[in-house]
Structure 1
Amino acid sequence: MQPSDRDEIRDLLKRTAVALKQSDVPFALCGGYAAWVRGAPEPDHDADFLVPAAEAERAAKVLAAAGLEVVDPAEDWLTKVVQGNSFVDVLWRTCGQPVEQELIDRAEELSVLSVHMPVLEATDIVVTKLMTLDEHYCDYARLLPVARALREQVDWTRVRREVEANDFAVVFLVLLDRLGIVEQPVTQG
């Protein structure tokens, strides 16, 4: 990514957050930029926000009213905010499930590029990233730096419980143990 692209994404991230904040739309920064705020490497692609499924339509209207270019992609679980070659995804479903207000409520207010906004907590960041893993997308190389950077902020017991049905996520947790990043719990047998 070119430095100008990163600046463009950062600007769009801030403008999206401010528009949602000013209209009292519940939201939280998630994905790679949420991990970055918490110490992971800066992502080289888009930024992502979550809004409760019940607020999806209102969020799109608020963003358009703020002068942002809003695009409805073919996917039926997000809206894109576009600026130049950059975009921000505003998701109301993640991992196939509607975003619930409870997930947004757990977010922590943090300063992101000089704008205070709710940022998904580290455990929820890791869970949502792990739950995207499947036979079509299984990129552990992108997840390792995130897990390493956030490891002390994460409730790994909760992560294990919430991802136990996803074999790709479970294998990643074994990998973290084998690499000495996070220890697996000892099971009694």
Structure 2
Amino acid sequence: MPDDRDEIRDLLKRTAVALKEGGVPFALCGGYAAWVRGAPEPDHDADFLVPAAESERAVKVLHDAGLTVEDPAEDWLTKVVQGNSFVDVLWRTCGHPVESDLIDRAEDKPVLSVHMPVLAATDILTTKLMALDEHYCDFSRLLPVARALREQVDWDTVRREVAENDFAVVFLDLLGRLGVVESLARD
């Protein structure tokens, strides 16, 4: 019997293959995208982004591929479910519709023997930091990701993109104080 990690890895691959074969633009994002780039493997779900304009087609493609698709209460994602595992397919991130340019910046990488677009490291950090708020502010999950990806990230771009999120700004200051990255210049 597979454990949850094997199950989520299988579902991640099956979801990516279905989206690829269906011609839906997508990119692996979140913890598994960071893992592909050297961060620790997450212990929960996997996430994909699709452009908001492709959301309905993505759901149809996943369903047509024989995957179990659930429609959660949130109106910005769908869930692909297998056993105790799930993959989120999101068309909004941090309250904003996913635009094609975010997907276009993704790089094709092998993930568990399946080639797929993986979000750029700068975009991974930006989206993770923009998710920080008073209800979710767990720096302990972000610190290993930032350490692992630090040489792959354009930190000045991250700083500009998250400047309006005080939680993200504080995290960037923490990275500088800990010596994870050089202190970031301010405009």
Normalising by structure 1, what TM-score? 0.97
Corresponding residue number in structure 2 for 1:35: 34
Amino acid of the structure 2 residue aligned with 1:163: V
Structure 1 alignment gaps of length 5 or more: none
Corresponding residue number in structure 1 for 2:131: 132
Corresponding residue number in structure 1 for 2:182: 183
**Any residues of structure 2 matched to 1:16-27 within 5 Å, and which?**
16-27=15-26
Structure 2 alignment gaps of length 5 or more: none
2:75 aligned with 1:72, yes or no?
no
Corresponding residue number in structure 2 for 1:146: 145
Q: Separation in 2 of the partners of 1:54 and 1:129?
A: 22
Corresponding residue number in structure 2 for 1:54: 53
What RMSD, in angstroms, separates the aligned Cα atoms of the two structures? 1.3
Secondary structure of the 1:134 match is coil
Q: Separation in 1 of the partners of 2:156 and 2:102?
A: 18
Q: Separation in 1 of the partners of 2:129 and 2:186?
A: 22
Amino acid of the structure 2 residue aligned with 1:132: A
Corresponding residue number in structure 1 for 2:168: 169
Q: How far apart are residue 186 of structure 1 and its match?
A: 4.5
| Residue-by-residue CA offset, 1:84-104 (whole Å, 9 max, x unaligned) | 000000000000000000000
Normalising by structure 2, what TM-score? 0.98
Corresponding residue number in structure 1 for 2:105: 106
| Residue-by-residue CA offset, 1:95-151 (whole Å, 9 max, x unaligned) | 000000000000000000000000000000000000000000000000000000000
Q: How far apart are residue 185 of structure 1 and its match?
A: 3.0
